[in-house]
Amino acid sequence: MPRTEIKIGGFGGQGVILSGYILGRAASIFDSKSATMIQAFGPEARGSACSAELIISNEAITYPYIVAPNVMVVMSQEAYTKFSPQLAQGGMLLTEEDLVVTHNLRSDIKHYSIPATRIAEELGKRLVLNIVMLGFATAITNVVGREAARKAVKVSVPKGTEELNFAAFEKGYEYGLEVLKKIPEKSLA
């Protein structure tokens, strides 16, 4: 896998940073890839749109910042408006279906969406929305393996919440597989 730049956006409290952290941990600890995550600091990290930026690669990561994300996961409208123009040519956009209305989307972007909040609520806790998104992103992008992601979830969530988070991850992952099935094969790059 070549250098893949990933940006996850949402608003403070959605677990944006944690989902980025879990993805990076999955890649670098459980999937023998390289991962570099940069923490955004400043007023934008508390309250409105916040983001996590990471790079995953099979090779050593040199330049530490993302230039144009190949993958973007957004969980709020504000994050969509603010970050989506940065997407690389032909990049993937993954959105929370009920929270993000995509408009003026460039035609080169591959767009996938999931009602992650509803799925999280059905599981009993809206809080696990980020892990639903993580499962979805894992299935769609394949930047880390399913097992690696599960292991990273296990060691990264608070003790006692592992089962709930596994369930959230699996729901998101399965939803992602279903979405992929509906897409004609030739349009998958």
- Which residues form the interface with other proteins (CB under 8 A)? 21, 24-25, 28-29, 34-39, 41-42, 61-65
Dihedral of CA atoms 65, 141, 165, 44 in degrees, nearest 10, equals 30
Cβ within 8 Å of residue 67, ≥6 positions away: 5
Give whichever of 39 and 142 is closer to other proteins, judged by the CB atom.
39
Identify the burial level of 97 via C-beta atoms within 10 angstroms of its C-beta, where 0-12 means exposed, 13-18 middle and 19 or more buried: middle
* Least distance in angstroms from the C-beta of 97 to other proteins: 29
* Least distance in angstroms from the C-beta of 36 to other proteins: 5
Give whichever of 3 and 118 is closer to other proteins, judged by the CB atom.
3
Q: Take residue 156 and report the two structure tokens written for it.
A: 């990264």
Give whichever of 37 and 168 is closer to other proteins, judged by the CB atom.
37
Q: In angstroms, rounded to a whole number, what is the distance separating the alpha carbons of residues 176 and 172? A: 6
Give whichever of 37 and 120 is closer to other proteins, judged by the CB atom.
37
* Least distance in angstroms from the C-beta of 37 to other proteins: 4
> What is the 8-class DSSP label of residue 102?
-
Give whichever of 70 and 113 is closer to other proteins, judged by the CB atom.
70
* Least distance in angstroms from the C-beta of 60 to other proteins: 8
* Least distance in angstroms from the C-beta of 21 to other proteins: 7
Q: What is the DSSP string of 36-58?
A: EEEE--SGGGSSSEEEEEEEEES
